[in-house]
Structure 1
Amino acid sequence: MSSADASIIGGRLALVLLVFSSWILPESDARRTLAAAGAPGPPIRAVNLGGWLVTEGWILPSLFDGIPNNDLLDGTQLQFKSVTQNRYLVADKGGGAAILADREQASGWETFKLWRIDETRFNLRVFGQQFWSVDSNSAVVATATTPGPSEAFQIVRRDGDKSRVRIRAPNGLFLQAKTMQSVTADHGEDTDWGDDDPSVFVTNNIARLQGEYQICNGYGITKATQVLRDHWSTYIVESDFSFIASSGLNAVRIPVGWWIASDPNPPLPFVGGSLQALDNAFSWAEKYNLGVIVDLHAAPGSQNPYEHSATRDGSQEWGTSDANIAQTVQVIDFLASRYANSPSLLAVELMNEPLAPGVTFSSLTKYYQDGYNAVRRHTSTAYVVMSNRLSIPDPTELLQFAGKFSGAVLDVHYYNLFSSMFDGLTVQQNIDFVRNNRSSLLATVTRQNGLPLTFVGEWVAEWQVQGASKADYQSFAQAQEDVYGRATFGWAYWTLKNVNNHWSMEWMINNGFISLKS
């Protein structure tokens, strides 16, 4: 037997013994076994380093200030209304047919997503996922499934009035709505931008994304590399880890994107450099005795339609193929391998906020099984975190599955936001909701045998109450600390820094809104 074979067999034997011991030991002892590498053990009180290695524009909007036409980034949703027909452009049948100008009201078929080529040229994606192009009769159609040069349209804005546009087709001519049933690319250059010009359209910008894809493709690789590397080296620094450790917290949850595994040369439009920042984070965590939860926040293909998944246009394509899942497992394998020997590696979170029904239960559990195995190939001590699917009414759907794995943790996110159910609630009603409803929900996913452990991976002391006092915020934050402190793995606040003060734990601690008891 070679020394390499002996090492492999020894490692597998150690894993078998670890799993066996977690079955026969009390859960508190199993936790200590898993924490033996040096990272703090549960209960964890952590803070998310959001907006650092995975861009979210609302956290630090100034990152996007230097992008020309930064209101027309990838995934921006536009509607176009013909000034002569007084009707909206529509992809007939939702796609696969002509573009018409006959809709009085705009909804899904009348909304088009931008794929940005440069600051003025775009592909326009329709509801059915096809792209605009021009046929041999100069008619504008939505039949292309893959964009190319024939699907590149230029949006020309009127000086001083960004809402009025003309659209230059790939043939060099402008679109015009001759009739409600005829939208063609055959109008010349001349225009006075008047209401009698069939080549003039009024735009509605109804949604936009400000994520990693948008910032990288918006700036282009050269400028994006400069902007993001400056951001990564200044937004989170060593002194932040010192602050975290001295404030009563014992861990950080760090969102990362799948492209980090290809650093320093990730696929376009992403840019390299975030891996060095993550290396720095581990070094600082080790210095200040903090645990690190590495969280795959953005998976290849995007596991949800939100900017924090680095989606290009809001499409959710993760898990649609075995190859896609395998690529994600490779990312987890890379992260586990790289940081397995760090005493601060507390946990690897396999995926953040997968959204049902696009992410099926079968595809998610297949991935979680393979991702768990990938982590265990490199470390027997790190916890493995599995996130609940969003929009599933049953919060217990993963309990039986996750409970089979030693060191598994179930991540749930609790916000008194993003739902009409919180509209109009008073201060006390919000606090009561946490102490009663959230407490009950957490108890529902917390098993008596402790498997899996439970983790409130995201929460914030912000709500929809207007004009609340500092004392109100203190009471709301304390209620959440009390309830989420019952999670058997712990909790993590979203996020350390944010231009919105109540979302910034640093600001909340420094200004006395949050007090972390010893």
Structure 2
Amino acid sequence: MCNQLFYVNLFFILYFSLFHNVFAAQTKNFNLQLKAVNLGNWLVTEGWMKPSLFDGITNNDLLDGTQVHFMSTKLQMYLCAEHGGGTIVVANRTKAAGWETFRLWRVNETFFNLRVSNKQFVGLEDEGGKNKLVAGLDSPGKKETFEIVRNNDDRNRVRIRAANGLFLQAISESVVNAEEDYEESSWEDNDPSVFKMSVLSDTVLKGEYQITNGYGPQKAPKIMRDHWKTYITEDDFRFMSENGLNAVRIPVGWWITKDPTPPNPFVGGSLKTLDNAFTWAQKYGMKVIVDLHAAPASQNGRVHSASRDGYTEWGDPFIPDTVATIDFLAQRYADSPSLIAIELMNEPQGVNLESLKRYYQEGYDAVRKHTSSAYVIMSNPLDRDSKVLLPFVRAFDKVVIDVHYYNLFSDKFSNMNVKQNIDYIKDHRASDLSSLTTSNGPPIFVGEWSGEWKVQSASKIDYQKFMQVQMEVYSRDTFGWAYWAYKCDSNYWSLKWMLDNNYVKL
């Protein structure tokens, strides 16, 4: 009996050892010249890629993070948080700038918190029986919650109901309070409770936080789960594989580790969708990069980081939670033959470099607890030189530096013609990649690029040339590239559309 148990145990030891070695060999021998695509707007929402996702939200111009100005129609002056916050709110500015700007935190369809430029919140303060308006608390509560009541005939003509049930009134340039009952207001200009609200349209955020909090806990689960189920399917993995792609980069948010009950307002179910992606990738011979696109508290304040209001607040206090996210993902997918890499963070910007390096060290260690074969990708900070991480990463094994190249988002591209854009790729992009690629340095990954540019009325041949030159240059790096994105309502951002319409052949 003992001999039988010995041989049974020996069999399982040899079996699992063989499985591990096969998996490691598959990853090691996989062609590192990745031809990948980003599955953007799937598990981390980016509303610009499919605006219709937000159509069913009530007051969908007043989402979390939207910036607004309020001008008193009686005084013809803007509300202002003096000194950007920390003291009273007045109505004495003829023009609106930073101190006169309020960022919305949406409580429900009509109730909001108002955040000012020093990141404090507007609220009522009872001083000698007077309910004056101040901006001095770091966290919003009942007194910092206001109802925005919109006029039916002019949606930007509003009244703001405070927590005491009364409307805010601009009594004078120095006095804004909620004292008298203006419930029967006629909405005329001389009414001190009427304000002209200006929505700064270029500040509207449409990301994961905005869509889930916008629809609310009753509607958001169905909206999000239907989207995950239909936006990317097994047929898409088959299509990608058949058209020459060998990998996908999948953006995920930190809340995926809390599935199936992530904190509000996020919706559970994205983890199962990511599991499906690994299954489909294995079936069609593709590799997966799991990319932490949205870190806790936002690493760049952008919509794709699931920021609530556009502020970058990631830093040392959030390193443990971010590392825990990486540890969870590495543990879950370490044994999958499809896992090629885990990216520790996407596009950090405005964060302390030493804090970022400390996190990258701890994130690397978290991955290595579970796998020695998967690559660890470190995204270069957007606001730093592309070579800033090179000395740091030499201490690690199987680390990749991710850089993103777009002929967009800078004024220098505004007046470039077709030839100048193509020459920029051949000269500047090629030179930058060459400076990054050294004999004993880390592999380089162009983790995002696009066929979109600022050229107006470009022909199909122009687009084909622009795509081709980018693929030629970006294929010179040592890890490969990933197009942004697979699907998008804007055609030239959609690699699927570009392939279907013969703009590119991989």
Q: What is the TM-score of this pair, normalised by structure 1? A: 0.91
For the residue of structure 2 that corresponds to 1:460, the secondary structure is: coil
Instruction: Say yes or no: does 1:478 pair with 2:472.
Output: no
- In 2: Cα distance, 1:320 partner to 1:73 partner: 28
Provide the residue aligned with 2:379 in structure 1: 387
Per-residue deviation at 1:399? 0.4
Per-residue deviation at 1:173? 0.8
Instruction: Say yes or no: does 1:106 pair with 2:102.
Output: no
Same amino acid, percent of matched pairs = 57
- In 1: Cα distance, 2:435 partner to 2:353 partner: 19
Paired residues of 1:417 and 1:463 also in contact (CA < 8 A): yes
Paired residues of 1:39 and 1:344 also in contact (CA < 8 A): no
**Pick from 467, 475, 497: which aligns with 2:457?**
467
**Pick from 401, 405, 409: which aligns with 1:414?**
405
**Pick from 430, 433, 444: which aligns with 1:439?**
430
Paired residue type of 2:368:
R
Instruction: Say yes or no: does 1:236 pair with 2:232.
Output: yes
Q: 1:34 to 1:102 in 2, by over 3 A?
A: farther
CA deviations on 1:258-284 (whole Å, 9 max, x unpaired) are 010111011111110000000000000
Per-residue deviation at 1:448? 2.3
Paired residue type of 2:476:
R
**Pick from 204, 208, 213: which aligns with 2:209?**
213
Per-residue deviation at 1:35? 5.9
Per-residue deviation at 1:108? 1.1
Paired residues of 2:23 and 2:337 also in contact (CA < 8 A): no
For the residue of structure 1 that corresponds to 2:218, the secondary structure is: helix
Paired residue type of 2:403:
V
Instruction: Say yes or no: does 1:56 pair with 2:56.
Output: no
Paired residues of 1:495 and 1:503 also in contact (CA < 8 A): yes
Paired residue type of 2:300:
N
Per-residue deviation at 1:38? 7.4
Instruction: Say yes or no: does 1:302 pair with 2:294.
Output: no
- In 1: Cα distance, 2:156 partner to 2:301 partner: 26
Residues 264-275 of structure 1: pairs in structure 2 closer than 5 A: 264-275=260-271
Per-residue deviation at 1:129? 1.1
Paired residue type of 1:426:
N
Provide the residue aligned with 1:500 in structure 2: 490
- In 2: Cα distance, 1:186 partner to 1:343 partner: 66
Residues 187-206 of structure 1: pairs in structure 2 closer than 5 A: 187=180, 188-206=182-200
**Pick from 181, 186, 189: which aligns with 2:179?**
186
**Pick from 342, 348, 360: which aligns with 2:342?**
348
Paired residue type of 1:428:
K
**Pick from 117, 134, 137: which aligns with 1:141?**
134
Per-residue deviation at 1:315? 1.6
Per-residue deviation at 1:190? 2.2
- In 2: Cα distance, 1:376 partner to 1:129 partner: 38
Q: What is the TM-score of this pair, normalised by structure 2? A: 0.93
Paired residues of 1:460 and 1:494 also in contact (CA < 8 A): yes
Provide the residue aligned with 1:83 in structure 2: 73
For the residue of structure 2 that corresponds to 1:220, the secondary structure is: helix
Per-residue deviation at 1:214? 0.8
Instruction: Say yes or no: does 1:162 pair with 2:166.
Output: no
Paired residue type of 1:214:
Q
Paired residues of 1:39 and 1:345 also in contact (CA < 8 A): no
Instruction: Say yes or no: does 1:226 pair with 2:222.
Output: yes
Out of 309-318 and 252-261, give the one that drifted further. Answer: 309-318
Q: How many residues are paired up?
A: 485
CA deviations on 1:21-79 (whole Å, 9 max, x unpaired) are xxxxxxxxxxx996633783311010000000001101111111111111111111111
Q: CA RMSD in A?
A: 1.9
- In 1: Cα distance, 2:381 partner to 2:448 partner: 14
Paired residue type of 1:376:
R
- In 1: Cα distance, 2:394 partner to 2:197 partner: 51
For the residue of structure 2 that corresponds to 1:135, the secondary structure is: strand
- In 2: Cα distance, 1:192 partner to 1:221 partner: 35
Residues 439-458 of structure 1: pairs in structure 2 closer than 5 A: 439-449=430-440, 451-458=441-448
Paired residues of 1:39 and 1:346 also in contact (CA < 8 A): no
Paired residue type of 2:197:
T
- In 2: Cα distance, 1:424 partner to 1:193 partner: 47
Per-residue deviation at 1:186? 2.2
Provide the residue aligned with 1:121 in structure 2: 111
Instruction: Say yes or no: does 1:401 pair with 2:395.
Output: no
- In 1: Cα distance, 2:102 partner to 2:30 partner: 48
Per-residue deviation at 1:442? 1.2
Q: 1:60 to 1:239 in 2, by over 3 A?
A: same
Paired residues of 1:38 and 1:343 also in contact (CA < 8 A): no
Paired residue type of 1:438:
R
- In 2: Cα distance, 1:269 partner to 1:39 partner: 42
